Amino acid sequence: NAGVTQTPKFQVLKTGQSMTLQCAQDMNHNSMYWYRQDPGMGLRLIYYSASEGTTDKGEVPNGYNVSRLNKREFSLRLESAAPSQTSVYFCASSEAADSYEQYFGPGTRLTVT
Amino acid sequence: AQSVTQLDSHVSVSEGTPVLLRCNYSSSYSPSLFWYVQHPNKGLQLLLKYTSAATLVKGINGFEAEFKKSETSFHLTKPSAHMSDAAEYFCVVNAGTASKLTFGTGTRLQVTL
């Protein structure tokens, strides 16, 4: 099993450009999450999907949209990138919304110039 | 509301000496607590978890942590550090509804010869 996979690994965008970060898991997990990691701030939740067909805002949702395409896939879209969105983005999954253990992907390093 | 405070942003130890990474938490509910490790340019990996069973929790790679409710602490320890332990460690709390984790700001562990 690959676990949680993310594409791309690295991306550079210009301000105002759009892009979609892809995430897939092969563990048959119901819940999926998007986090961003900034220096000295730990991880902050952007959006999550407790189950297929549902999405909810996390701590820092502004400037992002998500799509739970199916049970396996959960994408994060930046419609108009800003330098403040320069960060490392992690996708995670868990068996269920009340399952505390989350499994993380390797991350996407995004730079917005 | 819940929060977690990692008391040291950086800890340096010599190989073979004990490791202590400190974490205090705040929670309105009975919390679940975790330690995750992140090696350079990698995703996060669960080291150990406390979910209201035994207060002394053993994890992978010889790490353990003790839940002390009276002190609201969940410090991570290892008797003897190895070079491969050099990484960033995150203390994480989950309390209340849904599977929303609150991350500490991280402690970078350096291991020297």
pLDDT tens over chain B, length 113 residues: 788 999 999 999 999 999 999 999 998 777 889 999 999 888 889 999 998 778 899 999 999 999 999 999 999 999 999 999 999 999 999 866 555 788 999 999 999 99
CA quadruple A24, A69, A41, B91: dihedral, nearest 10: -60
> Chain B within 8 Å of A58 (Cβ-Cβ)?
yes
How confident is the model at residue B96, as a pLDDT? 62
How confident is the model at residue B28, as a pLDDT? 76
Nearest CA in chain B to A109: B41
Nearest CA in chain A to B93: A100
One pLDDT digit (tens) per residue for chain A, 113 residues: 779 999 999 999 999 999 999 999 999 999 999 999 998 888 999 999 988 999 999 989 999 999 998 999 999 999 999 999 999 999 999 987 666 788 999 999 999 99
How confident is the model at residue B31, as a pLDDT? 84
Identify which of B32, B94, B103 has the shortest CB distance to residue A43.
Answer: B103
Enumerate the H helices of A1-113 as residue ranges.
none
CA angle in degrees (0–180, nearest 5) for A17-A19-A25: 165
Nearest chain A CA: its distance from B54 CA (Å): 17
CA distance B4 to B48: 16
Which residues in A lie closer than 8 A to residue B94 (C-beta atoms)? 100
